[in-house]
Amino acid sequence: MIRQRSRHRLLDRVFRILFPALLLLLLNGCASVAYYGQLASGQLRLLQAREPIDRVIADPARDPKLRAHLSQAREARAFASAHLHLPDNNSYRLYADIGRPFVVWNVFATPEFSLAPQNHCFPIAGCVAYRGYYNQGAARGEAALQQLQGMDVSIGGVEAYSTLGWFNDPILSSMLHWGDERLATLIFHELAHQRFYVKDDTAFNESFATFVEQEGTRQWRTHRGLAPDNGNSLRQRDQFIQLILDTRQRLETLYAQPLPAEQMRQRKAAEFERLRSDYERMRDSQWAGDKRYDAWVYTPLNNARLLPFGLYDQWVPAFAALFKREGGDWVAFYSAVEKLGRLPADERKAALEALTAPKIADD
């Protein structure tokens, strides 16, 4: 296979010309060096573990289930470029067995009485509301340090991420646990990040990628001759997210009040108990007792655990409206998204709000 695509383009041009070394030169302090060092070494190990999917599929000695999963993924990957007009590169045409359930663990932190995340800024991705670790133990260590400082902390495992086109991202073994359709949605989502990304605007980026994932999956099902999804899972997900967002709104109102710390603590705990009660009522009365979110709800709750909710969904209706406005034409849609992305942040937000505003009928 042309010497494995020139050894994956000479290990993606020698790790993007020793990019980690440049990062380290930009940073000060041993803690920064250690943190960015683990990011660099983790990414390098991932790149070194890659192998062409075609070779895995063709090898009868490999696990038949793995070969079947990757065969379906190969079809979804081809569909992504041919029909969804997502980048046509070597990303997700490679496979890497990483030997763990998640590729990274993200650590989220907020003050005890605030929903403002502790942001971290990076040269490529911009500012995000978490720090990522390739080792779960290191993530737990960071979380413990934050807790000692009185912060609310949460650790979340991540199945996949995009390097935004800097490297040819592989399908990871951590992406295979959710079945073929979930794997296809992950491919669509991560390729959308490669297609377009706005620095320092997580809500825009994730909502855009989530819309591409959802609409792409709908078209992927149609392409394969499958019946449309009944939407039950998505409706339940939306209802659950709304519960979280309602809780966040109540907490924001609470934290704005000039209350003593102990009283604030008690009322904060009461809001999380209300969240559990509201969830149980909805689960039992509307979902026929479906317990898919029980594990999340019944683990200890704090501000940091609420942070990811809304980031992935806030502007999905706006992107859906934009896609409809462009007649369902992917190329025209991406062009319109790029125009939005080039606007100053305040104008971009206003434009997204306008897309979701109810239209007033003409007299």
Note the pLDDT tens digit of each residue in 74-99.
Answer: 999 999 999 999 999 999 999 999 99
Q: Please indicate, yes or no, whether the overall pTM of this predicted structure exceeds 0.95.
A: no
Whether 255 is in a domain gets the answer: no
Domain span at 214: 2-223
Taking residue 128's Cβ as centre, other Cβ atoms within 10 Å add up to 18
Whether 113 is in a domain gets the answer: yes
Whether 268 is in a domain gets the answer: no
Report the pLDDT averaged over residues 34-51.
89
Whether 354 is in a domain gets the answer: no
Range of 36-40, 241-245, 274-278 with top mean pLDDT:
274-278
- Biggest alpha carbon–alpha carbon distance for the chain: 70
Kindly indicate the confidence band of residue 155, based on its pLDDT and cuts at 50, 70 and 90.
very high
CA-nearest of 177, 51, 13 to 103 is: 177
Q: What pLDDT sits at residue 2? A: 46
Whether 287 is in a domain gets the answer: no
CA-nearest of 44, 38, 76, 70 to 57 is: 70
Q: What distance lies between CA 13 and its chain's CA centroid?
A: 26
CA-nearest of 40, 47, 45 to 12 is: 47
Report the pLDDT averaged over residues 323-329.
97
Whether 51 is in a domain gets the answer: yes
Report the pLDDT averaged over residues 158-184.
90
Whether 292 is in a domain gets the answer: no
Whether 140 is in a domain gets the answer: yes
Number of domains in the chain: 1
Residue 98 CB partners (closer than 8 Å, separation 6+): 46, 49, 172, 173, 174
Strands 120-122 and 152-158: unpaired
SS3 category, 148: helix
Q: pLDDT tens-digit profile of 191-228? A: 999 999 998 898 899 999 999 999 999 999 999 998 88
Q: ∠ CA(241), CA(182), CA(206), 5° rounding?
A: 50
Residue 58 CB partners (closer than 8 Å, separation 6+): none
Taking residue 157's Cβ as centre, other Cβ atoms within 10 Å add up to 14
